[in-house]
Homo-oligomer: A and B are copies of this chain.
């Protein structure tokens, strides 16, 4: 493949103003080439199917409370699609289906919608698909657009959520449920697909329960979305977007590793998205082999303090200096400090003090802190102290999310290295360089895996709605096999739920899937991390390829969880 003059991107407007939706967009050559990328379907979706119900389901915890919260849905079985001689669904039925994107973007969302649309075209011709705009608020305000073939076309296999956009509103209050019901009635909806994370799927299930309790015909189906990878379970082996996002981050990390090795003088501290769970950080570590990786769940399990984490990093840096390596790459999950109890304690105390006390310049206010919290506060770098004191949300609370953990760690590592230098223990050089890889990964072009997986999730959701199912989450399994052999089912959302006590009431929640310390991905990492720490086993995965080598790769986490060797 030799460089040559190729017609460039900015003169190839696929849609410019002529197609509704991505109005006035211009497409790059690669985006254009992806639009017509044909997606394989699991064979069960290519042929007539019927639904086989599994055994009655329970809940992830507190089944009695879940049963009370979902009297109409609790216990319903999972629904598996299996081949059938003749279609069990009526192909002359015309459905009215709504779809909504909820929460942060994840690559592949557009393909879920394409999948639903194509199912309706293929199996229930004459059906209508409405896209609610701007997330759940679109349902409540009945703000929607009819999704046609032309409308959807330019978004096929494309990143982003801009076809109908997303939002973070929730349908929570009785008034909001009433609004949602009005929309369902007004549009005569047979079904609604909610594409979102754990909260959004919980919300989907509440909506399904509500509609059923009102004897509404509107069925509700969930879809597992989040780049963080923390919405998954046995039946739902992956949330979409994780594969693409991790590969984008891994490309950048791999480049930074080659840079570190070439210059030999920087420690790159890379913060990665993932506030609640450290799946992204773990996956990126498995793909790239950094010298140090901090996994929040491990920090929590070992009850480590910030000082412990700092010492762990500094110990490795010193050992590496002895080996002649004054460089390295360190991965940190964005949610790290949420995993450290002493930090949570400090923040709670600060919130209390800031709400009620005058913060004097002399520092008298610090006497209100417990001894442990004061010690931690004084251990923090000045810039972080300032940030904790100054940047607060509208409720006056300290904004943990604003803390740049990677910069904080660099400063703490610098201080500790300086201490050791004065003790004569450390003779190395240290230059920290901070990075945050976040937004770059949420809206990339979906990998072949995410494109195909999402299409099957959407197509399957259509099939389940058509079969009269509600309160399920679209589940595509057997992902280690060829697409042909993937299974398609719906899992009872109530089966994923537990309750949490909030304001004296039980609230249903789908528990976030955390990194399991006895799971295959973490165990693989744990068995390698000492080797990676001192030897430089960097791997640079390079940019995502859509054809040729690596274009068929699947992320390590999924493969390891499925028992495959990687």
- A interface residues, Cβ below 8 angstroms from B: 1-6, 8-11, 24-34, 40, 105, 158-162, 165-166, 248, 251-252, 254-256, 258-259, 261-264, 266, 268, 286-287, 289, 433, 435, 439-445, 447-449, 452-453, 479-480, 482-483, 535-554, 556, 559, 564, 566
Q: Chain A contact residues: over half helix, strand or loop, or mixed?
A: loop
**In the complex, are the beta carbons of B286 and A31 less than 8 A apart?**
no
For residue A34, which residues in chain B have a CB less than 8 angstroms away from its CB?
Answer: 542
B28–A542 touching, CB < 8 Å: yes
Cβ-neighbour of A258 out of B5, B30, B159, B547 (below 8 A)? B159
A435 to B434, CA, bound (A): 11
Known contacts A5-B480, A8-B559, A262-B160: A547-B550 contact under CB 8 Å: no
A443 to B255, CA, bound (A): 5
Complex copy number for this chain: 2
Q: Using Cβ atoms and an 8 Å threshold, which residues of chain B touch A40?
A: 2
B8 close to A553 (CB less than 8 A): yes
Cα A90 to Cα B60 in complex, Å, equals 80
- Residues A564 and B5 in contact in the complex (CB < 8 Å), given A29-B553, A255-B248: yes
Residues of B within 8 A of A551 (CB): 1
B550 touches A105 (CB 8 A): no
Cα–Cα, bound, A264→B443 (Å): 13
A549 touches B30 (CB 8 A): yes
A380 to chain B, nearest CB (A): 18
Partner of A443, one of B32, B161, B256: B256
Most chain B beta-carbon neighbours within 10 Å: one of A2, A268, A435, A550: A2
Residues on B with C-beta less than 8 A from A26 are 289, 537-539
A543 and B540: CB pair below 8 A?
A: no
Contacts of A258 in B (CB 8 A): 105, 158-160, 162, 443-444
CB distance from A269 to the nearest CB of B (A): 12
The docked-state distance in angstroms from the alpha carbon of A24 to that of B439 is: 33
Query: Are B261 and A160 in contact, with the CB atoms below 8 A?
Result: yes
Give Cα A160 to B27, complex, Å.
31
Q: Is the CB of B33 within 8 A of A548?
A: yes
In Å, the complex CA distance between A440 and B284 comes to 15
Closest B residue to A161 by beta carbon equals B262
Specify which chain B residues have a CB less than 8 angstroms from the CB of A31 in the assembled complex.
539-540, 542
| Residue among A165, A553, A566 having the largest count of chain B Cβ atoms under 10 Å | A553
CB-based contact A439/B433 at 8 Å: yes
Q: Can you list 9 residue pairs at the A/B interface with Cβ under 8 Å?
A: A10-B566, A26-B537, A28-B542, A29-B549, A32-B549, A165-B262, A255-B441, A545-B546, A546-B548
